[in-house]
Amino acid sequence: MRKQIAAANWKMNLSQSEADSLLNELFQTAFHLAAHQEAIFAVPSIYIHQTKAKLAGKQNMYVAAQNCHQKNNGAFTGEIAAPMFASVGVKHIVLGHSERREYFTESDALLAEKVNAVLAIDSTPIFCCGEPLDIREAGNQNIFVEAQLKNSLFHLSAEQIVKVVIAYEPIWAIGTGKTATSEQAQEIHAYIRSVFASKYGQSIADQISILYGGSVKAANAKELFSQPDVDGGLVGGASLIASEFTAIINALQ
């Protein structure tokens, strides 16, 4: 059975005390995650230690990094390497978020290097893909997303690709309040799975978790997650509200 995942992306938000309060409020709730379900918290790197401490002893809950450098070490002031994250127990790293692509001009080729770096430390890349509004309005979203996947991931072996989590994020729906309908989400998630099936075979494609990331909230999570090819969500703003993210975790099928 594929993993179903509710992943929080805190982005560059919260003070230390605010982060502590949010985690305390979240964990006042008793979560009942099944064996194939996970909750992941991609927090600012400075909060990884305190988040990991809060998650100690909790089943199927993990802390994640929001990015990493493609090199393992060197003169890259301000950057953090994948092996550094591994050394403090981080096993999931978000790569290629649309904000990284847009604001920091991260290319598909660079992201392929980052994927390699994360897999080399036996960690899970949460690889983001998705189209901007003009591509969606032109009806070219499938071609656009397929190119992102092929350019950054198709060098991987079948054994490697099943370790990657995909997060499809329609850029036009991030932080805008707009959300793809459940039918739109299912349509492109199914297409993404077919892209992997064409390269690796259906049995491999069926093992890859594909998350939806675009204004996921408590009100729409259950319907989105009920779609056969939507395996959870990468959640931005709603993950900063304890009651919202609690409901999203509990909406996993």
- Residues designated as active site: 97, 169
- Is the CA virtual torsion 28, 32, 33, 35 positive or negative? positive
Q: How far apart are CA 119 and CA 114, in angstroms?
A: 9
Q: How far apart are CA 191 and CA 195, in angstroms?
A: 6
Q: How far apart are CA 134 and CA 109, in angstroms?
A: 23
**Residues in CB range of 55: below 8 A, 6 or more apart:** 41, 61, 62, 63
208-245 b/e (C-beta count within 10 Å ≥ 16 → b)? bbbbbbbbbbbebbeebbebebbbbbbbbbbbbbbebb
Q: What is the DSSP letter of 173?
A: G
Q: How far apart are CA 114 and CA 154, in angstroms?
A: 14
